[in-house]
Chains A and B, each alone.
Chain A
Amino acid sequence: MTMLDYTLKELMTIAAAREIRDGDIVFCGTGISMVAAMAAKNISAPNSVIFFETGAIDSLLEEVPLVVSDSRVMFWTSVNGNLADAFAAMQNRITGPHVVGIMGAAQIDKYGNLNSTAIGDYFKPKVRFSGSGGACDVASFVGRTITFMQHEKRKFVQKLDYITSPGWLDGPDGRKKAGLPAGGPASVITNMATMGFDKTTKEMFLTGFFPGITPRKILDNMGFEIDVSRAKEVEPPTESELKILREKCDPQRLILG
């Protein structure tokens, strides 16, 4: 068997796309999350509906949008709404649980809480990031979330410098105690691995490692320990997955690089 040639970004995108179920309402941010949603729709989840916090629902993405306000998200939608509509659909007790949100962050902890606001002291930040945008709203409201991260020690931290978006907060009862809806983080996809959250403890654990990457290396690049005993090697993208990703989702390689 010959090894397929694929890039790490392609593998990450496909790994995320596989997490999307047919019929999901998919909330997308910018960048790789958008390409993952496009890939899922074109490969395994044709009945999923892509929607954006800006209010565009079921856009026909003939070209990859570079911002969630891109005119490309406004073309051939079922509804062009607004922010108030879009977030209401996620907070809505009937539609919200069917939404899967794809996000990213600068820091994550073992309960999947995210920081996309600041590194260092909030009042005198060492590094300032964009801030929540819709991320905190999505993480608060929807049925489940998938988070893209770079696998680095400084990003997988014991304690976040700022909690922008709620994961499982401080453990199994965290969300309930805070008064949040029942959803929460389902998986994390990095440039080395895929992770899930334990049903009972809500702590992050390794579900898959990318071909050529050992669980040891994964742990060496994290600021906290996770259970690796349940992990399997992640299936590389298939030829047909790659073909669709390259030809239909991002042929200009604006996001995939």
Chain B
Amino acid sequence: MNISKNKETSLKEAIRKYVADGCHMSIGGFTASRNPMAAVHEIIRQRTGNIHLYAHSNGQGVDELIGAGCVSRLEIAYAGNGRFAPTCVRFKKAAQKGSITVEDYSNYQMTLRFLAGAMGVPFLPTRSSLGTDIIAKWGFSSEMRAADPRIPDQKLMVMDNPFGSWGDAPKLVLVPAINCDVTIIHAQKADREGTVRMEGLAFSDVEQAKSAKHVIVTCEELVEPDILKANPDQNQIPSFCVDAVVHVPYGAYPTACYRYYDYDPTYLNEYRRYAEDDGLYKTYLEDFIYGLKDHNALLDKIGRDRLEKIRADQRTGYAVGLDRR
């Protein structure tokens, strides 16, 4: 929550200020779309560690944060990237090695948990996952929960419908609210006051943003407030929810940003090959993140030709005919 009229800042400064060691964080986007990748890389560059990360189905951003050793605990529904990585590779390795502690939920449950946080209620009910190990098996032990006031004492709870036969749902699963220290999203448009406009699918970015103590928004275009106010029904997040606005063209690259650019299949396929080998992954981090000053340096390294190939077609919002093999 922040009522300043000018929240424009640099990415370095926003990450330094709001993403601390050990913070509880969520990032927006979904698998290979609109992940706040410039911000993810800046977190990696600042060598922030011990992050407790929340995600529904974030693919690339989650995998790179884990791969770089920034994450110690993860609450997640899905760590995959479709055809680019059926299971995110660095996530898989870390979970198998035990270098991160994982707790599993479903996508709807994670969305409802953010929504509960945004609504200011401790939990919301759903009928999802009754009879499954998502309820039976806790990733975080009772001791770990008791030791950290930012984690609820229970994972999920099943209750009988207190309204009896009303609604024809005898049992309900209660999912606990999430209120992160910081949520980072990448949007198509924002203004300096913090109003946000996403185009295409919003995923759960709105719930994630509204449930967080602090919100960083990176955007393709930083526009005048009057431009967003002229069509307010297209805006999703009001300015007071947002703490920092950073203008970062291609800020979701190598993931897609609808109507601006597609995902970069070359990058995502190469990334998987780097990720599969520990030694090569060190090279990836050095060459694509640590060794670069900022996101612009990454774009320079990728080159105009590659970016031109993924430029979104005006009619469809994606790069028609892009070689995606």
The interface of chain A, by Cβ under 8 A from chain B, is: 30-31, 53-56, 62-63, 65-76, 80-84, 87, 91, 93, 117-118, 122-137, 140-141, 162-166, 169, 174-175, 177-181, 252, 254-255
Contacts and interface: CB of A to CB of B under 8 A. Distances in A.
Interface in B203-228: 203-207
Given A55-B203, A63-B320, A74-B258, A131 B104 contact: yes
15 contacts: A67-B82, A67-B83, A69-B201, A73-B201, A80-B202, A84-B111, A132-B78, A133-B80, A137-B106, A140-B127, A141-B127, A141-B128, A163-B133, A166-B129, A166-B131
Interface residues of B, number: 76
A30 B128 contact: no
B107 A70 contact: no
Contact of A87 (B57, B59, B107, B167): B107
B112 interface: yes
Given A30-B83, A66-B324, A87-B128, 9 more contacts: A67-B82, A70-B263, A80-B201, A124-B98, A129-B86, A130-B79, A166-B130, A180-B127, A254-B325
Contact of A164 (B79, B134, B171, B262): B134
A179 B128 CA distance: 10
B246 interface: no
Interface string B15-41: 000000000000001111110000000
Contact of B131 (A74, A76, A180): A180
B87 interface: yes
A38 B56 CA distance: 26
Interface stretch (B1-9, B45-53, B88-96): B88-96
Contacts of A131: 76-80, 104
B139 to A, nearest CB: 8
A162 B32 contact: no
Contacts of B129: 132, 136-137, 140, 166
Nearest to B81: A67
B297 to A, nearest CB: 26
Given A130-B88, A136-B129, A165-B132, A54 B201 contact: yes
A254 B83 contact: yes
B117 to A, nearest CB: 13
A75 B96 contact: no
A135 B191 CA distance: 37
B317 A75 contact: yes
B121 interface: no
A67 B320 CA distance: 16
B84 interface: yes
A15 B320 CA distance: 29
A67 B86 CA distance: 10
A67 B201 contact: no
A55 B256 CA distance: 16
- Residue from B78, B79, B107, B206 with most neighbouring chain A CB atoms (10 Å): B107
Contact of A179 (B76, B169, B200): B169
Contacts of B158: 179
Given A71-B262, A134-B106, A178-B130, A31 B316 contact: no
A163 B109 CA distance: 16
B107 A53 contact: yes
B33 A122 contact: no
A83 B111 contact: yes
B312 A71 contact: yes
B105 interface: yes
A81 B102 CA distance: 29
B107 A137 contact: yes
B72 interface: no
Contacts of A75: 316-318
A169 B131 contact: yes
Contacts of A56: 201
A75 B78 CA distance: 24
A82 B114 CA distance: 13
Contacts of A129: 86-87, 92
A55 B95 CA distance: 29
B30 A69 contact: yes
A76 B318 CA distance: 12
A155 to B, nearest CB: 14
B115 interface: yes
Nearest to A29: B82
B127 A179 contact: yes
A125 B107 contact: no
A65 B108 CA distance: 21
B57 A69 contact: yes
A55 to B, nearest CB: 5
Given A178-B130, A179-B171, A132 B203 contact: no
Nearest to B167: A93
B92 A128 contact: yes
Contacts of B137: 122-123, 162
B316 A67 contact: no
A137 B108 contact: yes
A166 B108 CA distance: 15
Contacts of B79: 130-131
B232 interface: no
